[in-house]
């Protein structure tokens, strides 16, 4: 008896009808479905990557000239075929995966020999392994792919070259002429009565800036003529300390020094909405969000050690409490979230528990004297993250292990490295940081480089892409680094 089969979908039913092989070959060569039972089913597992194209090659074990290939439907975990007339009892099955498309680089193969059964469907499992750690569809060169930096979605052969100190397209050149023409720091203007505390970019050339004075928040748009259009709102009553903006429509979500949470759209006729969540007065120090299954889910951290989840438009709720003062949270999705802070005498980091249990405390390297807190964290890819804090504390998390990286150098005798208050990273070769010395600097993978000396009182630093940075200052001024026009 044979099991019926649909390519890419699995077993559907049991059938006692076994069609003539030659007849099947004439109608549907080598394919099988509910009416054409398979002789062999192949179960495919993809380890470390999502292939762009998979094909199956079948060879008669006794005569290598007898062979055919079958395409595997994209994302399918199972595929089956019918033995051709006149073939022997054993076949060699080889699955081949390619990067991005069926014309892309072959990055993984797996083979097995299987003996065909007379009255049932034979089964074989194949695992295709490659490494796409940053999830950009390009496989690491270490596993036969073409991605020269698999820690960064900003780097792969399919990326357009940008002015960002990186070799974006893996051609061996960083920032070739003329990609940096017109790229510079410029101010977006000063908003009267504002004291900006956080900046939240949500689209190319667009960001929110929120403050803790006079209920002033502002949306800034980079115009085609190189200028900036600023829209000011004063109906969100609170001292706002953290913000994240939704990429789809620009809706901003905010946390305050008093533990409030609020949201606002870009529409002037839609009022700001402050939630009823009671944070006990503990300051919300960071917030990050994700668009998941058609909805928006946000996570925030407070100085009281609370981790909040906000499935908008439902009310926020407390989902975890840790014995720490939490300062920052970041992730690419809920499963990669990392929160950092201090226990009062040492830095701490916690990561989301995929099993649904309490968040897991991470093992950190021994900190130096005075390095008692992590102030900021940024997740680059599932296998790479950076965190930084007091007295130059700078850590890299690679493949699950935290390691100490060089502090920003101090050349004065007895000097102490400045604390790092914000970090934004796009790979091991490009990490931007805001220092408590009011400077913005960058780490190139080996050493720190000066980037913007400040006297403005920078309060934040954020970015969506490696070639556009946003910052804000305590005097209500916004700052932008990027091309002249969006």
Question: What is the secondary structure of 376-401 as a DSSP string?
Answer: EEEEEETTEEEEEEGGG-EEEEETTE
pTM of the model: 0.87
So what's the pLDDT on residue 454?
Answer: 77
Burial of 215 (0-12, 13-18, 19+ CB in 10 A): middle
Checking if the pLDDT of 10 tops 60, the result is no
β-strands 252-256, 240-245: how paired? antiparallel
End-to-end C-alpha distance for the chain, whole angstroms: 64
Query: Mean of the pLDDT values across residues 364-368?
Result: 95
Query: Mean of the pLDDT values across residues 394-398?
Result: 97
Query: Mean of the pLDDT values across residues 176-200?
Result: 96
Residue 20 binned pLDDT confidence (cut-offs 50, 70, 90): very low
243-269 pLDDT, tens digit per residue, is 999 998 999 999 999 999 999 999 999
Average pLDDT, the chain: 90
How far is residue 461's CA from residue 451's CA, in Å, rounded to a whole number? 13
So what's the pLDDT on residue 84?
Answer: 85
So what's the pLDDT on residue 27?
Answer: 39
Checking if the pLDDT of 478 tops 80, the result is yes
How far is residue 66's CA from residue 214's CA, in Å, rounded to a whole number? 79
**Rg of the Cα trace of the chain?**
27
Task: Give the residue from 233, 210, 230, 213 showing the smallest Cα distance to 221.
Answer: 230
How far is residue 137's CA from residue 101's CA, in Å, rounded to a whole number? 10
So what's the pLDDT on residue 72?
Answer: 92
Phi, psi of 334 (to 5 degrees): -60, -30
Query: Is residue 54 within 8 Å of 97, Cβ to Cβ?
Result: yes
Task: Give the residue from 150, 186, 198 showing the smallest Cα distance to 170.
Answer: 150
368-394 pLDDT, tens digit per residue, is 999 999 999 999 999 999 999 999 999
- Give me the sign of the Cα torsion angle 322, 324, 325, 330: negative
Residue 168 binned pLDDT confidence (cut-offs 50, 70, 90): very high
Residue 36 binned pLDDT confidence (cut-offs 50, 70, 90): confident
- pLDDT > 70: percent of the chain: 92
So what's the pLDDT on residue 359?
Answer: 98
Residue 12 binned pLDDT confidence (cut-offs 50, 70, 90): very low
Checking if the pLDDT of 29 tops 60, the result is no
Query: Mean of the pLDDT values across residues 231-248?
Result: 96
Q: Token pair for residue 372?
A: 């008692």
Query: Is residue 51 within 8 Å of 128, Cβ to Cβ?
Result: yes
- DSSP lists the bridge partners of residue 385 as 379, 397
Which stretch of 35-39, 304-308, 321-325, 469-473 has the lowest confidence by average pLDDT? 35-39
Checking if the pLDDT of 15 tops 60, the result is no
Q: Which residue has the higher pLDDT, 158 or 283?
A: 283
Whether the link from the prior residue into 466 is cis, omega within 30° of 0, is no
Fold held by 184-482: Methylamine Dehydrogenase; Chain H (2.130.10)
How far is residue 75's CA from residue 339's CA, in Å, rounded to a whole number? 33
Select 2-129's CATH number: 1.20.1740, 3.30.390, 2.60.40, 2.30.180: 2.60.40
So what's the pLDDT on residue 30?
Answer: 55
* Residue ranges covered by each domain of the chain: 2-129, 184-482
Calculate the alpha carbon distances from 356 to 51, 186, 305, 322, 381 in Å: 29, 45, 18, 15, 21
Checking if the pLDDT of 332 tops 70, the result is yes
Query: Mean of the pLDDT values across residues 162-184?
Result: 95
Checking if the pLDDT of 173 tops 70, the result is yes
So what's the pLDDT on residue 83?
Answer: 81
So what's the pLDDT on residue 415?
Answer: 79
So what's the pLDDT on residue 307?
Answer: 98
How far is residue 239's CA from residue 147's CA, in Å, rounded to a whole number? 44
Q: Which residue has the tokens 């892309």?
A: 104
Task: Give the residue from 475, 473, 468, 448 showing the smallest Cα distance to 458.
Answer: 473
So what's the pLDDT on residue 412?
Answer: 63
Query: Mean of the pLDDT values across residues 30-50?
Result: 84
So what's the pLDDT on residue 9?
Answer: 30
- Helices and strands: H and E segment counts in the chain: 1, 37
122-133 pLDDT, tens digit per residue, is 999 999 999 999
So what's the pLDDT on residue 117?
Answer: 77
* Other CB atoms within 10 Å distance of the CB of residue 292: 11
Q: What is the DSSP letter of 140?
A: B
Checking if the pLDDT of 413 tops 50, the result is yes
So what's the pLDDT on residue 116?
Answer: 85
Residue 483 binned pLDDT confidence (cut-offs 50, 70, 90): very high
Q: Which residue has the tokens 């504002």?
A: 194
Checking if the pLDDT of 90 tops 80, the result is yes
Checking if the pLDDT of 271 tops 90, the result is yes
How far is residue 160's CA from residue 223's CA, in Å, rounded to a whole number? 22
Query: Mean of the pLDDT values across residues 65-81?
Result: 90
Residue 410 binned pLDDT confidence (cut-offs 50, 70, 90): confident
Q: Do domains 2-129 and 184-482 have the same CATH topology?
A: no
């Amino acid at each position: 008896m044979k099991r019926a089969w649909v390519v890419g979908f699995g077993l559907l039913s049991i059938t006692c009808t076994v069609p003539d092989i030659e007849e099947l070959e004439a109608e549907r060569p080598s394919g099988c479905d509910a009416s054409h039972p398979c002789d062999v089913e192949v179960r495919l597992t993809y380890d470390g990557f999502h292939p762009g194209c998979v094909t199956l090659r079948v060879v008669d074990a006794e005569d290598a000239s007898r062979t055919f290939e079958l395409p595997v439907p994209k994302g399918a975990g199972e595929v089956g075929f019918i033995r051709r007339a006149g073939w022997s009892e054993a076949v060699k099955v080889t699955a081949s995966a390619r990067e991005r498309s069926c014309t892309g680089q072959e990055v993984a193969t797996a083979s097995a020999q299987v003996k065909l059964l007379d009255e049932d469907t034979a089964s074989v499992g194949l695992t295709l392994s490659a490494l796409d750690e940053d999830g950009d569809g390009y496989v690491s060169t270490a596993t036969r792919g073409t991605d020269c930096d698999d820690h960064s979605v900003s780097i792969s052969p399919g990326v357009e070259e940008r002015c960002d100190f990186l070799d974006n397209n893996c051609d061996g050149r960083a920032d070739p002429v003329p990609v940096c023409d017109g790229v510079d720091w410029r101010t977006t203007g000063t908003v009267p009565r504002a004291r900006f505390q956080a900046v939240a970019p949500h689209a190319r050339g667009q960001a929110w800036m929120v403050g803790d004075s006079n209920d002033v928040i502002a949306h800034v748009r980079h115009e085609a003529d190189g200028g900036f259009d600023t829209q000011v709102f004063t109906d969100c009553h609170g001292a706002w300390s953290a913000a994240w903006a939704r990429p789809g429509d620009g809706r901003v979500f905010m946390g305050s020094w008093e533990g409030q949470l609020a949201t606002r759209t870009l529409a002037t006729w839609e009022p700001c909405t402050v939630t009823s969540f009671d944070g006990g007065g503990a300051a919300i120090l960071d917030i990050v969000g994700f668009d998941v299954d058609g909805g928006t889910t946000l996570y925030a951290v407070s100085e009281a050690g609370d981790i909040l989840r906000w499935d908008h438009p439902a009310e926020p709720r407390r989902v975890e409490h840790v014995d720490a003062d939490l300062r920052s949270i970041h992730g690419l999705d809920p499963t990669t979230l990392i929160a950092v802070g201090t226990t009062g005498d040492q830095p701490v980091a916690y990561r989301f528990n995929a099993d649904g249990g309490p968040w897991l405390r991470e093992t950190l390297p021994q900190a130096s004297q005075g390095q008692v807190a992590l102030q900021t964290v940024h997740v680059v890819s599932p296998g790479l993250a950076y965190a930084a804090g007091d007295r130059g504390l700078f850590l890299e998390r690679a493949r699950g292990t935290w390691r100490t990286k060089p502090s920003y150098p101090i050349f004065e005798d007895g000097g102490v490295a400045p604390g790092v208050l914000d970090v934004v990273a796009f790979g091991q070769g490009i990490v931007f940081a805001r220092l408590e010395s009011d400077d913005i600097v960058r780490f190139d993978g080996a050493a720190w480089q000066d980037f913007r000396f400040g006297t403005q009182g920078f309060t934040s630093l954020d970015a969506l892409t490696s070639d556009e940075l946003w910052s804000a200052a305590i005097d209500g001024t916004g700052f932008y680094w990027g091309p002249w026009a969006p």
